[in-house]
Amino acid sequence: MTAMQSYLDIKDLKKEYVQGTPILKGINFSIEQPGIIAIIGPSGTGKSTLLRCINRLVTPSSGNIIINSQDASNARGKMLRQLRRQVAMVFQEYNLVERLSVIENVLSGRLGYMSSWQAWRRQYSQHDINTAFELLAAVGLSDQANKRADSLSGGQRQRVGIARAVMQDPSIILADEPTSSLDPKTAVEIMSLLERFASEKNIPALVNMHDVKLAQRFATRIIGMSNGHIIYDGPPQDISDDILKEIYGGESWLD
Amino acid sequence: MAGLTPQQHKMHPDPFPRKPWHSVLSVLVVVYLVYSINTMGLDWQRFIDGLGHADKLLDRMFPPNFSRWELLLEGLLESLEIAVISSAAGIFLSLFIGLLAARNFMPNWVSVPVRGFIAICRSFHPVIIAILFVKSVGFGALAGILTLIIATIGFIAKLFAEAIEEISFKQVEAIQATGANFISVILFSVMPQVFSRFIGFATYQFDSNLRNSTMVGIVGAGGLGGTLFSAFQRFDYDFVAAILITIIALILFWEFLSTLVRRIFQCRS
């Protein structure tokens, strides 16, 4: 471990869904600084798999994932659930529980801290309820609290998704293509929200994206992936056309 | 343009080839139908004669005789109790059995045996199950209740399992990602998606249990069916008519209630 407190350490992470066709071919990086870290790369290169390995929606084939000096790669049962509540996830298609109200969706971020009896009886602490309404105000949806989640627009849903993630009081946020289903203006708003919460909570947000310009605008660090490997890991301004060519292949799409 | 102007075509195979076994199968079905009608000795004359008997029966049924209303009410209340208890117990058990049978949540070694159990519950008509229970627990309402619990599980648990298998897994993943335990995941991501369908299935099943609760009595498993059967045996056709009218009233009343129930829950969900 480095001298500095590390939020996340990934060591030689490999994943193959089908024997012999690895998706992740040995990923190494560690995150020591808060703020937005963008992961860019073409579709099918394993960005999603990487994020889903970190909160163990996917079990890695080998390697280590160290979150707050605990190894998540083999965690099971209660330990896995405790790790998951430190790692909040924002999804490309928002994944809100559509038939629940907006405020219930935000509060569901606390489920990792509650027994199922408390969950069944909806026994949230007063503190949690206050936090949920404050978060809803922070994402600008105070007046939608009691609407059903499926009545919201895409941008509004993603705001709820972010509020739910922050509700977990996580030590890291993972966002899997959070803006890919949104228009460019809303995408910028969503990235600003992620940036704001990351800095308020002083935690890193690991964001998969394929919009390079948007990544360069918000990220403090960019990780470029191609074909299951990390090709680039550094500050956004150092990404050159040559590196982009290496990440995405070809060059006809550049300018 | 290729494909639009007549040219020298390469011969493509017909994408809808005739399958000879289709014709063979159709002929076999028709032959079997004709054969069955012949062996049963069904003919028009028997039907005409039968209508005459039905006429006599109807004559004796009307006017219906409600003078033994106490007996009727007793049977009716017992039927209602059988239906309510068996529906409540059966639907409650089906919630768990349905979840255990859902292949997207349970490993095969759980779901396959549970599915087998459900299939067994469904494979016998309630009358057969009722006979078995009357033989094992004796005459009376208990046999009827057990019968309809089995019937409820056979139908509802399967529908519950299928409803759970059709849900969106994205919402499940989102709740899993919060660190929620298994039961909380079910409560917050599965139940909201299936709840209104469950209400629909449950009201249908209660409807069916209500009708079946008036039937299990015929084999001695309690309820109005017993009264009906003995009235038939004593040729009290006017009392039979009274019982039948009562059953119709009961079903219509439930029809009215269930519309109300469904409307209430649709507003909420």
d(CA B139, CA A71): 62
Please give the torsion angle defined by the CA atoms of residues B12, B13, B14 and B19, in that order, rounded to the nearest 10 degrees: 180
pLDDT tens digits for B156-208? 999 999 999 999 999 999 999 999 999 999 999 999 999 989 988 998 899 89
Tokens found for residue A81: 């659930």
Quick one: DSSP state of residue B12?
P
Question: Domain containing A173: what range?
Answer: 8-254
Q: CA of B105, closest CA in chain A: separation in Å? A: 14
- Write out the H or E segment, with its range, that includes residue A27: strand A24-31
Whether the CB of B188 is below 8 Å from some CB of chain A: the reply is yes
Residue A148 DSSP code: B
Sheet holding A204-209, edge to edge: A87-90, A172-176, A204-209, A35-40, A221-226, A229-234
> pLDDT tens for residues A231-247?
999 999 998 888 888 88
Helix, strand, coil abundance in chain A, percent, nearest 5: 40, 25, 35
Length of chain B: 269
Is residue A26 situated within a structural domain?
yes
CB contact under 8 A, B171 and A97: yes
- Which one of B167, B170, B171, B189 would you mutate to disrupt binding with A, by most A Cβ within 10 Å of its Cβ? B171
Q: How many residues does chain A have?
A: 255
Residue A193 lies in a domain: yes
SS3 A243: helix
Question: Which chain B positions have a beta carbon within 8 Å of A85's beta carbon?
Answer: 178-179
Interatomic CA distance for residues B188 and A100, integer angstroms: 8
pLDDT tens readout for residues A2-34: 445 789 999 999 999 988 889 999 999 999 999
The answer to whether residues A208 and A47 touch, using CB atoms and an 8 Å cutoff, is: yes
* Per-residue model confidence (pLDDT) at position A1: 41
Nearest CA distance, A213 vs chain B (angstrom): 28
Residue B238 has pLDDT above 90, yes or no: no
A63: domain CATH number? 3.40.50.300
DSSP B52-121: HHHHHHHHHH-S---TTHHHHHHHHHHHHHHHHHHHHHHHHHHHHHHHHH-TTTS-HHHHHHHHHHHHHH
The DSSP result for B191-258, as a single string, is: HHHHHHHHHHHHHHHHHHHHHHHTTGGGGTSSSHHHHHHHHHHTT-HHHHHHHHHHHHHHHHHHHHHH
Smallest CA–CA distance from B266 into chain A, residue: A99
Do the Cβ atoms of B179 and A168 come within 8 Å? Answer: yes
**pLDDT surpasses 70 at B7:** no
Which positions in chain A touch B187 (Cβ < 8 Å)?
Answer: 116, 119-120
**How many domains does chain A contain in total?**
1
Angle between helices B237-268 and B44-61 (to 10 degrees): 90
What ipTM does this complex have?
0.92
Does a structural domain hold residue A2?
A: no
> At B13, is the secondary structure helix, strand, or coil?
coil
CATH class of B70-268: mainly alpha
A86-97 average pLDDT score? 94
Residue A16 resides in a domain: yes
Domain boundaries in chain B? 70-268
Q: Is the residue at A194 inside a domain?
A: yes
SS3 label, residue A135: helix
d(CA A93, nearest CA chain B) in Å: 8
